[in-house]
Structure 1
Amino acid sequence: MENGSSVGTSLVLLGIYEMEEFKYLYSGSFLALYLSITMLSLMIVFVILTEESLHGPMYILICNLTLNGIFGTSAFFPRLIYDLFSSSKTISYYGCITQMYCIVTFTYFEICTFTIMAYDRYLAVCHPLQYVILMTNEKTLKAILGTLATTLIAVFIAVLLTSRLPLCGTQIKNIFCDNMSIVILSCVDSTANNLYGTISATSFLLVTSLVIAYTYFKIFLVCINLSKDGHNKAFHVLVTHLLNFSIFLIGLLFSFVRYRLNSANLPLSLHVLLSITRFVYPPLLNPLIYGLRTKPLKIKIVYHFSKISMIKNI
């Protein structure tokens, strides 16, 4: 594109070309992965919703985390599977903007959920006697809805700023659309986008990281002074949450790094690899880790599986 028109333009996803040779293998593998993530996540959601004993703040947050995982992977995998299977390498401008909005929303809301979960565990471990008052189901839902509304507004502003940019290129070095992929195609000054993105992302990550670091540090201090049994339980909670959050941060860090490396010298295949991690590992491992490491939830899952087995044997 030599001029500034954007609307009605088809953008080319160069990452699809990298997968063309083994497209059926990739599309089949991604389909199996997407179905696995969806089924595991829905199983967690179903068990939490149907078991009254699990209707507590921690399980509401686990349910929210797995639902967000479904949302994030659904914004990514179906389109990728279709593109690979049909050998389609283009996406409409509006389709690209929509996918970008969903992906960024998933990323921000995932971090928000981890932050609320860290605060919830901090109250449970450090203030056990006041926990039922400080962290009720109603307060948990308000925190979830509040962070979701803030995320939607913040991402909408970013998308609005990006959508006003006329594009002088159509080739995206990725297999999906994200904000920076479109911004770098702009043929006008994108200082406003970069400034807003830097300030909002830095502020967001700084606040959430400080909250998570503080709560985990306080939990760790309490763990040291607890009895052996209490120490093991608290440490178990700490490790579970840190493991999940670390997995997500690694994927996010990859996405951050890829735009700050010299794109001209960075192989396209590495671009793809660095981008895909946050859509694979966290949504897949979250239900597995919480299903296996959260004992009450694990017991209920086993119970439901045993009921299904009994029905099949009748």
Structure 2
Amino acid sequence: MINSTQVSYFTLGAYVDTKLFKHLAFIIIMFFYIVIICSNLLLIVVICMNRSLHEPMYKFLCSLFVNELFGSSGLFPFLLLQVLSDIHTVSASFCYLQIFCVYSYGSVEFTNLAVMSYDRYLAICFPLQYNTHMTSGKIAMLIAVTWLPAVFAVSVTTSLSASLQLCGNIINKVYCDNYSIIKLACFDTRINNVYELTAASLTVCIPLSVIFYTYVEILKVCFSGSKQTRQKVVSTCTPHLASLLNYSFGVSFEILQSRFDMNSVPNMFRIFLSLYFLTCQPLFNPLMYGLNMSKIRLICKSLLLKSVGKCRSVQLL
């Protein structure tokens, strides 16, 4: 029997020996990470620096992009090191830190999408009272509700897992996963299972209920309103719905990959399933919102034209 305090490291068993292709994999992962950092950071700066974007919707978007950076930074630097390494091990302390980052990202993402759907509900269903309802204090409260409960819940989850007595140290994934560590436990994990199931249910059910209710009300207004109202609903809700569906698919893939026996599935496909919601969402959101939100698109275009103009003037000098 191995006590959890004696487990100094975990071995990640899902990595394959890429040999000559490890540097190609490193370049591809680095490219995706740079794109995620630049695109999300660009939109955060654009929203923060332009007063015309200091509206509730864009503040919630800013919170979403910050979370994309947070989740990506908990995964990509680690993946880059592991791809180049021949020994795929990680210290126990870093493993629990990564679990905290990944799970916090997942919880905050879903709650943030629920808050954004509530914002759209107020804007579409109560346009005249929108500014009265969505005050600066309420915006701050909603952003706090998005982050603080998720961080607290995941902190408890990580602490419970770190206190387990483990009878092994091999995790069959490419990054640290809480459920994989629970499966290594020597003794009864009922407390961990009950808490994780309760926390996961609340994290999913409450935001999902908010999203379902708000979209039912939005659809009522859409069907009973004018053509102009329907166009407004489509233009404002399409990016949010696309992001919600993309994230839901990613989480479903992760649950499918983690909870069920998939030994018959090729290893590379299992890796893809486990990484989808951590990679595609940070890549997808800046593109979706940057292209579909006219204000953001126009400001980014003007900034690009200004930078090109400055480069040309420097070259002429």
Q: TM-score, normalised by structure 2?
A: 0.95
Pairwise CA distance, 1:208: 0.9
Gaps of 5+ in 1: none
Instruction: Render the CA deviation track for 1:218-270: whole Å, top value 9, x for unaligned.
Output: 11111112221221111222222110011011111111112221255454433
Q: Tell me, what secondary structure is at the counterpart of 1:116?
A: helix
Amino acid at match of 1:215: T
Change over 3 Å in CA distance of 1:103–1:22 after alignment to 2: same
What is the SS of the residue equivalent to 2:90? strand
Q: What's the CA shift for 1:21?
A: 5.5
Corresponding position of 1:252:
251
CA shift in 2, pair 1:263/1:75, >3 Å = same
Give, as a single letter, the amino acid of the residue that structure 2 aligns with 1:185: L
**1:32-181 equivalences in 2 (<5 Å):** 32-181=31-180
Aligned position for 2:308? 309
CA 1:201–1:56: 2 relative to 1, 3 Å: same
Q: Could you list the runs of 5+ residues in structure 2 that have no partner in the other structure?
A: none
Q: CA RMSD in A?
A: 1.5
Where 2:11 maps in the other structure, the secondary structure is strand
Q: CA deviation at 1:116?
A: 0.4
- Give, in whole Å, the separation in 1 of the partners of 2:183 and 2:24: 31
**% identical equivalent positions:** 31
Aligned residue for 1:176, secondary structure, equals coil
Cα pair distance change 1:218/1:290, threshold 3 Å: same
Q: Is the 8 A contact 2:111 2:203 kept in 1?
A: no
TM-score (norm 1): 0.96
User: What is the alpha-carbon distance in structure 2 between the residues aligned to residue 204 and residue 10 of structure 1?
Assistant: 30
Aligned residue type for 2:3: G
Partners of 1:21 and 1:309 in 2: how far apart? 39
Structure 2: how far apart are the matches of 1:132 and 1:7?
Answer: 56
Question: Partner residue of 1:3?
Answer: 2
**Aligned 8 A contact 2:2 2:168 in 1:** no
Give the whole-Å Cα distance in 2 for the aligned partners of 1:7 and 1:83.
23
Cross-structure match for 1:202: 201
Give, in whole Å, the separation in 2 of the partners of 1:95 and 1:7. 15
Provide the residue aligned with 2:240 in structure 1.
Answer: 241
The DSSP-based 3-state class of the residue aligned with 1:270 is helix
SS in 1 for 2:259: coil
For 1:297 and 1:124, how far apart are their aligned partners in 2? 18
| 2:10–2:92 contact (8 Å) kept in structure 1 | yes
